[in-house]
C-alpha cells in the first residue's frame, strides 16, 4: 500500500510541474548569442521567478541568481527560447517554483566565448594596439633560435589567421624580456615557474564615453612550461613527449576569448597533454566550432563603433599565411605620398588642405575596404554628413599617384 501511494505522489508532482520534451539545437556554442529552444509543458505562462540552468565547469549547475540573469527571448507554458550562455555539456534543467525538470537528452556545448555580462552580452574586445591592425607577438630567444620551435609557432599563427581572420602578427625579431603585462609587450616564452603545461595571461582595460563603458584586451603573455619534453612537429607526438603546437592551439584559443568545454575532441578541453586529449591532439587544425566562435568574436572586434581613448577596431588581414606581415588590405592601397584633411574628427564638411588638385576623383572607404562615397574633388569641402560614425580612408586620385588620409566621422 505504501509503494502504491508513493507512486501516485510522484506521478502527481511530475504532472503538476510539467516536463521537458525536447530542445533544439542539440549542439550549440555558448556565449555568442545563439538561441536554444526548450519545448515541453508546465513551464508557466510567464517566467516569473522560474529559470533555466546549465551544467558548469565547476561541476554544478548555475545557481538561481546567475540563471535568472541569462537573456530569455520568450517564455510560455510550452516553450522557452533564450540565448545560450557559457556552459559545459550536460542535461538542461528548468526550475519551476523550486522544482527541477531535467531533460532526458544531453545538450552538447562545443565551444564557449567568454563574456563580462551575459545579458546584455559584453565582451573584452580585441583592438588595433600596434597601429598595424591588431596585436604583435614576440618570440622569446629560446624559441626564436630553435628552428623547430619557431616553425611551430609560425604554423599555429598562420592557422588562426587564415581560419578566423584574427590580426595577430609575429615580430620579425626576438625578445629577451620577461613576463609583465604592464609593458604591453605580447610575448611567447618559456616559464620555469609554471605548474601547468601552458597559460595565457591577459590584461584588460576600460574606457568610458558618455554612458558607454568599452572593455578591451590591452596586453597578453603566453607562458609555456619549460619542464615539458616538447615535440615541435605535426601529427602524433612520440611517446613521452608533449605536442607544442597543440598546447599553443589551446592557449591562443584562450587569448581569443575561448573558455573550456568538456566535449571530447575539442582543443579547449581542459586537458591538453594527458589522456583523454592524447586521443585527438594529433590534430593540426582547430575544430569547426572553434573557428566559428573565434570568427564571430573577430567580426565583432572589427565592427564596433566605439571611438575614444585612442581605441580603433581590428583591421582585416591581407595575406593570412604571411605571419610577419604588417599590411592590411586597406594599407596596400597606400603609397608614400599623403594628404591631410580637417576638421578631424568631422561632422559634416571635410576639407583637403595640402593638395593642389582642383579636378581629381576621390573615394572614401571604411575599415573593411568597402567604397561608401566617391565623386570629383573641385577644391570645395566634401559632404560626409550621411556617413555613419567611424574611421575612414580618403583616397584622392591625382595624375601620378593616389594620395591618402584618414579621418574620423563623429
Q: Please report, for the domain that includes residue 249, its CATH number.
A: 3.40.390.10
| Res 27 pLDDT > 60 | yes
Shared domain for 358 and 297, answered yes or no, is no
- Report if residue 122 sits inside a domain: no
Where does the pLDDT of residue 31 fall: very low under 50, low under 70, confident under 90, or very high at 90 and above? very high
- For β-strands 341-342 and 349-352, DSSP reports them as antiparallel
pLDDT above 90: residue 8: no
Cα–Cα distance list, 162 to 50, 245, 286, 322 (Å): 44, 16, 11, 10
Q: Is the pLDDT assigned to residue 40 strictly greater than 60?
A: yes
Is residue 294, in this structure, part of any structural domain at all?
Answer: yes
**Strand ranges of the sheet holding 341-342, from the earlier edge strand across to the other edge:** 341-342, 349-352, 382-383
> Is the predicted pLDDT of residue 12 greater than 50, yes or no?
no
Nearest-angstrom CA–CA distance, 298 and 361: 33
User: Which segments within 192-268 are labelled E, that is strand?
Assistant: 198-209, 212-225, 230-231, 242-243
Quote the Cα angle for 84-88-89, to 5°.
Answer: 90
DSSP state of 312: -
User: Residue 368: pLDDT above 70?
Assistant: no
CATH assignment of the domain containing 404: 2.60.40.3080
Last residue of a domain, one of 96, 111, 126: 111
Classify residue 199: in a domain, yes or no.
yes
Is 162 a member of any domain? Answer: yes
Residue 409, number of CB atoms within 10 A of its CB:
21
Q: Is 211 in the same domain as 348? A: no
Name the pLDDT band for 357 (thresholds 50, 70, 90).
Answer: low
Residue 356's pLDDT band (cuts 50, 70, 90):
low
Using pLDDT thresholds of 50, 70 and 90, give the confidence band for residue 190: very high
SS (H, E, C) 31-82: CCCCEEEEEEECCCCCCCCCEEECECCCCCECCHHHHHCCCEEEECCCEEEE
**Domain boundary residue, one of 284, 303, 322:** 303
Q: What is the pLDDT of residues 200-238, one digit of tens each?
A: 999 999 999 999 999 999 999 999 999 999 999 999 999
Residue where a domain stops, chosen among 303, 323, 352: 303
pLDDT reported for residue 359: 65
Backbone angles phi, psi at 60, to 5 degrees: -120, 165
Record the cell numbers describing residue 2, joined without a space.
505504501
The DSSP annotation for 251-311 comes to HHHHHTTB-----TT-TTSS-SSSTTGGGTTT--S--HHHHHHHHHHHHHHHH-----TT-
Whether the predicted pLDDT of 400 surpasses 70: no
Q: Same structural domain for residues 195 and 278?
A: yes
Say whether both 105 and 222 belong to one domain.
no
Give CA–CA dist 343/305, Å, rounded. 20
367 compared with 63, residue with greater pLDDT: 63
Is residue 284 included in any domain, yes or no? yes
- Which tens digit of pLDDT belongs to each residue from 73-114? 999 999 999 999 999 999 999 999 999 999 999 999 999 999
Residue 176 grid cell: 629577451
Cell numbers 598546447: residue: 247
On whether both 142 and 247 belong to a single domain, the answer is yes
Residue 135, Cβ neighbours under 10 Å: how many? 21
* Vertex 122 angle, CA 116 and 128, to 5°: 100
* 350 three-class SS: strand
Q: Based on the fold, state whether residues 337 and 289 are members of the same structural domain.
A: no
**Whether residue 54 is found in the same domain as residue 182:** no
Contacts of 304 by beta carbon, 8 Å cutoff, 6+ apart: 125, 214, 313
In a domain, residue 240? The reply is yes
CB 122 within 8 A of CB 215: yes
95 and 19 within one domain: yes
**3-state secondary structure at position 160:** helix
What's residue 376's pLDDT? 83
Asked if the structure places residue 127 within a domain, the reply is: no
CB 380 within 8 A of CB 349: no
pLDDT higher than threshold 90 for residue 371: no
User: What is the pLDDT confidence band of residue 374, given thresholds at 50, 70 and 90?
Assistant: confident
- pLDDT above 60 for 350: yes
* Same-domain status, 338 and 402: yes
pLDDT at residue number 38:
98
Residue-wise pLDDT tens digits, 118-165:
999 999 999 999 988 999 999 999 999 999 999 999 999 999 999 999
pLDDT over 70 at 1, yes or no: no
Residues 172 and 288 in one domain: yes
- 394 and 245 co-located in one domain: no
Answer yes or no: is 130 within a domain.
no
pLDDT band for position 340 (cuts 50, 70, 90):
confident
Q: In this structure, are 186 and 229 located in the same domain? A: yes
Q: What is the CATH number of the domain that holds 84?
A: 2.60.40.10
- Local confidence band at 10 (pLDDT 50, 70, 90 cut-offs): very low
What dihedral angle (degrees, nearest 10) is formed by the CA atoms of 94, 96, 97, 102? Answer: -60
| The pLDDT of residue 296 | 97
Domain boundaries, position 236: 135-303
- Of 345 and 125, the structure prediction assigns the larger pLDDT to 125
C-alpha cell at 263: 566535449
Torsion-angle region of 262 (φ positive above 0: left; ψ -120 to 50: alpha; else: beta): alpha
**More confidently predicted of 224 and 332:** 224
User: 270-328: per-residue pLDDT in tens?
Assistant: 999 989 999 999 999 999 999 999 999 999 999 999 999 999 999 999 899 999 975 54
Q: Could you give the number of structural domains in the chain?
A: 3
Amino acid at each position: 500500500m505504501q509503494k502504491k501511494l508513493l507512486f501516485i505522489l510522484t506521478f502527481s508532482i511530475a504532472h503538476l510541474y510539467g516536463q521537458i520534451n525536447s530542445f533544439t539545437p542539440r549542439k550549440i556554442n555558448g556565449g555568442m548569442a545563439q538561441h536554444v529552444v526548450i519545448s515541453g509543458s508546465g513551464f508557466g505562462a510567464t517566467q516569473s521567478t522560474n529559470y533555466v540552468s546549465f551544467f558548469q565547469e565547476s561541476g554544478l549547475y548555475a545557481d538561481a541568481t546567475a540563471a535568472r540573469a541569462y537573456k530569455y527571448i520568450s517564455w510560455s507554458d510550452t516553450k522557452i527560447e533564450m540565448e545560450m550562455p557559457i556552459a559545459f555539456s550536460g542535461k538542461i534543467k528548468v526550475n519551476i517554483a523550486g522544482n527541477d525538470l531535467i531533460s532526458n537528452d544531453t545538450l552538447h556545448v562545443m565551444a564557449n566565448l567568454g563574456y563580462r555580462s551575459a545579458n546584455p552580452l559584453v565582451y573584452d574586445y580585441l583592438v588595433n594596439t600596434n597601429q598595424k591592425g591588431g596585436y604583435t607577438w614576440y618570440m622569446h630567444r629560446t624559441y626564436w633560435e630553435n628552428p623547430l620551435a619557431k616553425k611551430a609557432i609560425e604554423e599555429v599563427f598562420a592557422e588562426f589567421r587564415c581560419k578566423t581572420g584574427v590580426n595577430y602578427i609575429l615580430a620579425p625579431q626576438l625578445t629577451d624580456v620577461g613576463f609583465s603585462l604592464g609593458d604591453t609587450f605580447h610575448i611567447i616564452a618559456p616559464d620555469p615557474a609554471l605548474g601547468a603545461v601552458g597559460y595565457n595571461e591577459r590584461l584588460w582595460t576600460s574606457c568610458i564615453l558618455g554612458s558607454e563603458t568599452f572593455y578591451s584586451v590591452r596586453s597578453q603573455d603566453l607562458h609555456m612550461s619549460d619542464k615539458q619534453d616538447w615535440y615541435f612537429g605535426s601529427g602524433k607526438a612520440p611517446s613521452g613527449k608533449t605536442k607544442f603546437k597543440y598546447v599553443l592551439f589551446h592557449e591562443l584559443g584562450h587569448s581569443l576569448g575561448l573558455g573550456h568545454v568538456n566535449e571530447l575532441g575539442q582543443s579547449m578541453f581542459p586537458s591538453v597533454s594527458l589522456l583523454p586529449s592524447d586521443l585527438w591532439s594529433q590534430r593540426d587544425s582547430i575544430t569547426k566550432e572553434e573557428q566559428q566562435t573565434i570568427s564571430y568574436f573577430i567580426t565583432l572586434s572589427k565592427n564596433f563603433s566605439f571611438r575614444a581613448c585612442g581605441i580603433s577596431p581590428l583591421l582585416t588581414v591581407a595575406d593570412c599565411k604571411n605571419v610577419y606581415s604588417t599590411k592590411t588590405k586597406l594599407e596596400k592601397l597606400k603609397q608614400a605620398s599623403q594628404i591631410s584633411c580637417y576638421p578631424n574628427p568631422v561632422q559634416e564638411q571635410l576639407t583637403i588642405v595640402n593638395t593642389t588638385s582642383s579636378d581629381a576623383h576621390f573615394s572614401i572607404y571604411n575599415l573593411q575596404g568597402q567604397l561608401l562615397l566617391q565623386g570629383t574633388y573641385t577644391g570645395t569641402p566634401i559632404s560626409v554628413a550621411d556617413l555613419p560614425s567611424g574611421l575612414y580612408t580618403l583616397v584622392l586620385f591625382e595624375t601620378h599617384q593616389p594620395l591618402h588620409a584618414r579621418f574620423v566621422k563623429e
